[in-house]
Amino acid sequence: MKVWMAAGGLVLGTLCACGPSKELRQVRSEAKSLREEASALRAETRVLRAENSTLKSKVRTLEDDLEELTRERDELKLAAQKPAPAPSKKAGRK
Asked whether residue 11 is assigned to any structural domain, the reply reads no
User: Looking at the 3D structure of the chain, how many domains does it have?
Assistant: 1
Asked whether residue 59 is assigned to any structural domain, the reply reads yes
Q: State the residue range of the domain holding 32.
A: 23-79
Give the pLDDT confidence of 5-50 residue by residue, as tens digits. 666 666 566 555 567 799 999 999 999 999 999 999 999 999 999 9
List Cβ neighbours of 20 (8 Å cut-off, separation of 6 or more): 28
If you average pLDDT over every residue of the chain, what do you get?
86
Asked whether residue 10 is assigned to any structural domain, the reply reads no
Measured between alpha carbons, how far apart are the two ends of the chain, in Å?
Answer: 137
Work out the average pLDDT over 58-71.
98
Amino acid (1-letter code) at residue 24: L
| 92 torsion bin: left (phi>0), alpha (psi -120 to 50), beta (else) | left
Asked whether residue 14 is assigned to any structural domain, the reply reads no
